Structure 1
Amino acid sequence: DLQASVCEFVVKGVKSLDRKACNRYDADYWSGRVYLRGYCMSPGVSFRKSLFSGVHVRGLFRLHKGDMDDVVQWPLNQTVKLRVVHPKGGEERDIVQRPDVSRPYCQRPREGQKKSMFISDPFFPSDDLVRDGYVEDDQLRVKFELLP
């Protein structure tokens, strides 16, 4: 589907991911494969330890060979929008970044090639998400979108 541009997923085990990031620098959570604007990809989030300000939650994606690779434009040249959704009332916060199209993570995937992943520069402070109620029952609701 070339029209679908958004997927939603729930990050489970937020406390554990946060702890792992504190102990090992990072912990990634991947959702299942989806097609967004024709690109086959796995979106996700990365919990990354910062030297000065706790753990940061950043957006991720990894491209995969897909059924529409001959139809979509390469390299991928879409802006990524990552939103966290408040469980009560649906308020959202977002981060937006246009990936660098010259990087391997935007290139057409090839057989046998090591998979590269995009990690956003903008982030959500993990402590803020917990404090402001975005994490409930150890889960975080996320929307991942490709903008034109």
Structure 2
Amino acid sequence: FDVKDIKSLHQRALEHGYADHVILPVYLCGYRMSPGIALQKSGTDVKLCAVLCLLRGEMDDYLLWPFEHKIRLSIIHPLENPELQLELKPFRGLRFFVKPRDRRNETAVFKSPSLDLVDLERDGYVREDELLVKWEVRP
């Protein structure tokens, strides 16, 4: 997915400590979710981390809970081949990953590992105020 207006998100993170971009719900491995990224202020730096919100879905009664699949978030370079990847593993006991009872669970923020936004900008991953992100759910 594309994250547009990175400069605006960056500025909001600097001013308020946090800004996120979450996409509309999708089904991945049967789970209904809204994946995304967050920019989080850390001292004078701004870190990019993954966010995930699980929503009630059509397949919930047939899935294993809590959600424990590994997640790979990739930042795609717009002109070259290299991707930067974050490998994430949900913690079994956290409320973010249980079967949603209501419409949706609270959004989980994976603070670690993270990427430095300044490094992404310097290395050309941000182009025309846009960042390309790939989100994978793995068994």
Report how many residues are paired.
138
Identity %: 36
Q: Tell me the equivalent position of 2:46.
A: 55
Q: 1:144 to 1:112 in 2, by over 3 A?
A: closer
Partner of 2:92: 101
Q: Secondary structure at the match of 2:3?
A: strand
1:116 and 2:109 matched: no
Q: What amino acid does structure 2 have at the position aligned with 1:36?
A: L
Tell me if structure 1 keeps the 8 A contact 2:73–2:136. Answer: yes
1:24 corresponds to 2:16: yes
CA distance in 2, matches of 1:103, 1:111: 16
Residue identity matched to 1:98: K
Q: Partner residue of 1:35?
A: 27
**Letter aligned with residue 88 of structure 1:** L
* The structure with more strand, counted as a fraction of residues: 2
Are 2:3 and 1:11 aligned? yes
In the alignment, structure 2 segments of 5+ residues that lack a partner are: none
Quote how far apart the aligned CAs of 1:89 are.
2.2
The structural deviation recorded for 1:111 is 2.1
Query: 1:146 corresponds to which residue?
Result: 137
Distance 1:80 1:112 in 2: 22
1:79 pairs, out of 70, 74, 83, with 70
Matching residue's letter, 1:19: Q
2:33 is paired with a residue whose SS is strand
Deviation track 1:98-131 (CA, whole Å, cap 9, x = no partner) reads: 1101101110011267x31221111110000000
Aligned-residue RMSD, C-alpha = 1.2
**Cα contact 2:56–2:103 (8 A) shared by 1:** no
Measured against aligned partners, the alpha-carbon deviations of 1:69-106 in whole angstroms (never above 9, x if no partner) come to 01111100111111000000232000112110110111
Q: What amino acid does structure 1 have at the position aligned with 2:72?
A: K
Unaligned runs of 5+ in 1: 1-8
TM-score when scaled to structure 1?
0.89
